[in-house]
Structure 1
Amino acid sequence: MPEFEPLYTTTSAESIGRFVAHHYVLSEPLACRMVNRGFNDVYLVTTASGDRYVFRLSHHRARGAADVRTETDFLAHLARCGVPVAAAVPARDGNLFVRGEAAEGRREGVLFPAIDGRMPDVASQSDAHANGVTLARVHDAAMSYQPEAPLYRLDLDHLLHRPLARVENLCRTIGSDDGGFLQEVCARTAAGIEAMQGLAWTHCHGDCHGFNARIGAAGEAVFFDFDDSGRGYLAYDLAVFLWAKLSFGRRFHAAWHAFVDGYRSVRPISAADFEAAHAFVIVRHIWLMGEQASRSREWGSEPVRWITQQREFLEGWEAQQLGARLMSLTDGSMGDFEP
């Protein structure tokens, strides 16, 4: 019996190669290398014939088990609808995901075809437009999707309240006191969203920040990384892109407008959902803080200490962005408000 209990183990590329060869029909021998270790572990698998695949090994997260069954089923539905996505490759037994035993417990794996194309540019308006088009196509296809017993519902409990609890727990652990500010801003944000009428729900991508895509030769954005997906607020799916362009000191307003234009070229955005997206920026920021806080036992408290330094952004967004929008809505015009 080992004296030390693992929280998380990094699986060698060699063992992943053997695992993939056992579970999938691919031309061998396989070459495998790790490309990313983070919220999930990602490996590039190259077959003897030169075909390239990405194998993703799900991480254990505080939010619960990875919902790979719903994720891969939704991707298959999107692919059937002609939406440009990286859908899961079926295993030998026909299943769209596999499971394997690690030292810390069972982990789920999914094999995807590697996507050709380049990484989007953070400030590119054309890349942002392409992301908006594909997200709109995802939402169009989602209208005919009926998931069977999904694990996640992207509501305020999942996106805001539980992440806040993880942040507060970390703050207590490291002796950081925000004077109740986070609770107050979250309460105001939740109350504001709950008071909004007519907000649409859809099956969300959940993490459409602009980089979970590759831009093909024709300029089309092909989406991947749906492991945060689930049924939830459409406004949240829009807000993730807005947050990505205006958080952490970024000022890519033109890219946000191009994203909205791309989305609207496929399907409309209601006034309620567009306005709500700005409130959901705070929700997204708290969600990320909660995700990071939940990893402190594995990463240590110092790498995630940044989450205790977010008051300026949250206060600024709430006061300047949301306050300005409420004022403009009251007087009947949007004026020159940027986002």
Structure 2
Amino acid sequence: MTASYHRVQGLNNDEVPADWPAISGREIAWLRGRYPQLGSTEEALWHSPRPMSAAAIVEGVAGRLFVKRHHHSVRNAATLGEEHRFIAHLAAAGVPVVQVLRDRDGATAVEHDGWTYELHTLGIGEDLYRDAVSWSPLTDVAQARDAGRMLARLHQAAASYHAPQRGTHLLVARDDLIRSHDPIAALKADLGNRPGLARYLARIPWEEQLRHTVLPWHAGLADRLQAEPRLWAHNDWHVSNLLWQGDTVSTVLDFGLASPTSALFDLATAIERNAVAWLELQRGAQAVRIDIALALLDGYRRQLPLSPARVHLLADLLPVVHLDFALSEVEYFEGITHSTTNADVAWQPFLLGHAQWFGSRDGQALLAGLHAAA
């Protein structure tokens, strides 16, 4: 499962061996038999440093293409199709997304030898943040404002898209537990379908830990979220998933975490991803970019107005917006890659630590800034 020669970004902003081997020339040759868009070269031009799948840029007959490969236990063709249909809807509505390529049989995802593959165009624009780690904040206020505007455009287009919930919990950002009046009971009811997560939680006092760290932030949210419409959303709006022309977003990338959540969930996730240097919290106030958070919100509201009540709800969502996804990461590391060490990171500093941080002076300052913007 691990390829020591291929290094990727670790959870602590370090370089670690990849969970999955790099895409090989042999695989590209096989894909060429399925995708006439691929060129004759079998060597990848670039390998992604992202850790939870393998991806590469390869030559195509009409330009370079992006190949992404997933282990079948994480994504099969059916679950990738859920993302691809959403992307196609957004493209038809004028949102600048990458084009998902179809193979010779018209499929947008193909399975082979235990892996699932998808091919995309590269998109238009410069990948300014290609090497940025997932928890590094955005530093340009103008870019933050335009990222907020583009997210609102995406939500406007998504409002007419209707599809069921994702067929997997693995590495998908959902809001099921946040919308539940009793997240612990809801999680317990689902553990029979999630053996990796159940195995991990059986070893720790998880109910007590959630009650003391995360759930105090959840009080009253379920009732307030009843009026918040379900909306298929990107759910991973980090600047590394956007291409740029100057300070303007030119292409939206990577819908791997997409699911029906809500507009406020997606915007709260964008603020969490882009306004806090989660791996550098020791820097104190310097690790928080309240101006970036407010620029994201401002750009969004210029495109799609939000009532004061919804902005207050947005701020109140922030300390718990990561709950479902953090659990999906625990499940992935424990059940798929069998790395209890990484599962511990997903549980402690991510799931519990993020919620705890919002009780700190710096976390409270970020929330206060958003409430004031209402």
Do both share a fold (TM > 0.5)? yes
Residue 26 of structure 2 corresponds to residue 15 of structure 1:
yes
Instruction: Work out whether residues 174 and 325 of structure 2, in 8 Å CA contact, stay in contact via their aligned partners in 1.
Output: no
Over the aligned positions, Cα root-mean-square deviation in angstroms equals 3.7
Instruction: Work out whether residues 125 and 255 of structure 1, in 8 Å CA contact, stay in contact via their aligned partners in 2.
Output: yes
Instruction: Work out whether residues 38 and 61 of structure 2, in 8 Å CA contact, stay in contact via their aligned partners in 1.
Output: yes
1:95 Cα deviation from its structure 2 partner:
2.3
Residue 293 of structure 2 corresponds to residue 282 of structure 1:
no
Q: How does 1:191-206 map to 2 (within 5 A)?
A: 191-196=219-224, 198-206=227-235
Are the structure 2 counterparts of residues 95 and 315 from structure 1 closer, same or farther at C-alpha, using a change threshold of 3 Å? same
Q: What letter corresponds to residue 110 of structure 1 in structure 2?
A: E
Which residue is 1:213 aligned to? 242
1:221 Cα deviation from its structure 2 partner:
4.1
Aligned residue pairs: how many? Answer: 319
Between stretches 220-229 and 120-129, larger displacement belongs to: 120-129
Which residue is 1:264 aligned to? 301
Which residue is 1:308 aligned to? 348
Between stretches 74-83 and 31-40, larger displacement belongs to: 31-40
Which residue is 1:135 aligned to? 151
Q: Aligned equivalents of 1:158 and 1:22: distance in 2?
A: 45
Residue 41 of structure 2 corresponds to residue 52 of structure 1:
no
Instruction: Work out whether residues 122 and 210 of structure 1, in 8 Å CA contact, stay in contact via their aligned partners in 2.
Output: yes
| TM-score of the aligned structures, taking structure 2 as reference length | 0.72
Q: How does 1:140-151 map to 2 (within 5 A)?
A: 140-147=156-163, 151=167
Q: Aligned equivalents of 1:178 and 1:338: distance in 2?
A: 35
| TM-score of the aligned structures, taking structure 1 as reference length | 0.78
1:17 Cα deviation from its structure 2 partner:
0.7
Residue 120 of structure 2 corresponds to residue 112 of structure 1:
yes
Which residue is 1:242 aligned to? 271
Q: What letter corresponds to residue 246 of structure 1 in structure 2?
A: V
Q: Deviations over 1:155-210 (max 9, x none)?
A: 3238976599777853654xx65781323444334442112153232111121133
SS at match of 1:199: coil
Q: What letter corresponds to residue 308 of structure 1 in structure 2?
A: Q
1:241 Cα deviation from its structure 2 partner:
1.4
Q: What letter corresponds to residue 120 of structure 2 in structure 1?
A: F
Q: Aligned equivalents of 1:55 and 1:92: distance in 2?
A: 16
Q: Deviations over 1:263-312 (max 9, x none)?
A: 11211123343222233323333344323322135252224433324555
Which residue is 1:157 aligned to? 177
Q: What letter corresponds to residue 53 of structure 1 in structure 2?
A: L
Q: Aligned equivalents of 2:165 and 2:271: distance in 1?
A: 30
Instruction: Work out whether residues 155 and 233 of structure 2, in 8 Å CA contact, stay in contact via their aligned partners in 1.
Output: yes
Q: Aligned equivalents of 1:280 and 1:309: distance in 2?
A: 18
Between stretches 131-140 and 18-27, larger displacement belongs to: 18-27
Q: Aligned equivalents of 1:67 and 1:83: distance in 2?
A: 22
1:213 Cα deviation from its structure 2 partner:
0.9
Q: What letter corresponds to residue 97 of structure 1 in structure 2?
A: A
Instruction: Work out whether residues 86 and 223 of structure 1, in 8 Å CA contact, stay in contact via their aligned partners in 2.
Output: yes
Residue 44 of structure 2 corresponds to residue 42 of structure 1:
no
The gaps in structure 1 that reach 5 residues or longer are 1-7, 329-333
Residue 260 of structure 2 corresponds to residue 231 of structure 1:
yes
Q: What letter corresponds to residue 224 of structure 1 in structure 2?
A: L
% identity of equivalent residues: 19
SS at match of 2:117: strand
Between stretches 226-235 and 147-156, larger displacement belongs to: 147-156
Q: Aligned equivalents of 2:73 and 2:20: distance in 1?
A: 13
Which residue is 1:317 aligned to? 358
